[in-house]
Structure 1
């Protein structure tokens, strides 16, 4: 029997980027399938989240993300540009966001076409690995989309034809995410149990093994 779980994932989350290759390997080697459910980052859903944090939160995060990438052997550089536009002087986020809504809706469209995990991996790597400068320029995004087996122009056209439907799917995902037990990403929810963070992958697999996870 194929095991399934919900994956809540954000294009602004470097931790989401870090866990994705392990999720792909899990699905490749074992009889398990992710229900890919992209969400907007917390900076878009709750813009005052970071302004109310202790200053140590940011300094620890910046140290930890580089360490976490090195630990799992993945290249990492802060996204250029950041998928979420931020005023660093005031630590606030303008309402006008030229990148994150498109990326999130593309993730929804990819998931609907059965290529969700592949799209998250290819585009996440484009944004966060540092392999290219200006991930949003030229044909970088189109090439990453093609790597996932999809056509960027087709996805963009589908979203442009039904923008409200895609926004509604993201809203539904975000509501289900909280029902799943956490507001952060990456969040994997299996059999009603939330596993928050890329460092919970081993526990996720362990729990799946208790539920009969089998090799392909």
Structure 2
């Protein structure tokens, strides 16, 4: 019997990116369906989060993500442009955010089609993997195509159904918090949250206890 798990995920989260190809590999190796649940990043949900946090926090995260990427042999580069417009010196989040709402709504539209994980994988490989100006030209169109999706169709849906998409994204956040966590990436299986790219092996072990089988 195919087991089900939910993954709560953000386009601005480097740890989400570092986990995603492993989530994809799980669905290829095991009789497992992962339902991608997109949420808005902390910068949108809590705009003052970065200003309130300890000054060392952001520097540590940057050091850690490149260390993890090197260890796992995953390409990693600062996003250009960043999905969130932010003054890194002051850590202040800009009022105008031209990227993250479109990205997240398109992701949720992809999830409606059962392709959320594939879309997250392909797009995050561009954003965090070193593709400069990923938001211009045909980069996004090609990423959507690799995920088996039509970018124009996704974009049209974000315009015609933005309110319902945002409600679904908000419901995802509520479901994440109801599971017992609040951050991303979080994989939830059988009501139990597994936060972070370093808890995937533990999640697999727990799923094996519930009958997870290789394909």
Aligned to 1:30: 30
Name structure 1 gaps, 5 residues minimum. Answer: none
Matched, 1:67 2:102: no
Aligned to 2:82: 82
Aligned to 2:193: 194
TM-score of the superposed pair, with normalisation by structure 1: 0.97
In structure 2, distance between residues paired with 1:59 and 1:7: 26
Matched, 1:174 2:173: yes
Aligned to 1:124: 124
In structure 1, distance between residues paired with 2:65 and 2:191: 28
Q: CA RMSD in A?
A: 0.9
Matched, 1:183 2:193: no
1:55 to partner: Cα distance: 1.2
Q: Deviations over 1:16-60 (max 9, x none)?
A: 111111111110111111111000001110011111111111121
Match of 1:50, SS state, is helix
Aligned to 2:136: 137
1:94 to partner: Cα distance: 2.1
1:90 to partner: Cα distance: 2.3
1:181 to partner: Cα distance: 1.3
TM-score of the superposed pair, with normalisation by structure 2: 0.98
1:83 to partner: Cα distance: 0.1
1:6 to partner: Cα distance: 1.1
Q: Deviations over 1:51-107 (max 9, x none)?
A: 111111112111100001111110000100100001223211123210000000111
In structure 2, distance between residues paired with 1:6 and 1:40: 16
In structure 2, distance between residues paired with 1:210 and 1:194: 15
Aligned to 2:95: 95
In structure 2, distance between residues paired with 1:158 and 1:66: 35
Give the paired residue count.
215
1:123 to partner: Cα distance: 0.3
Matched, 1:208 2:198: no
Runs ≥4 residues deviating over 3 A: none
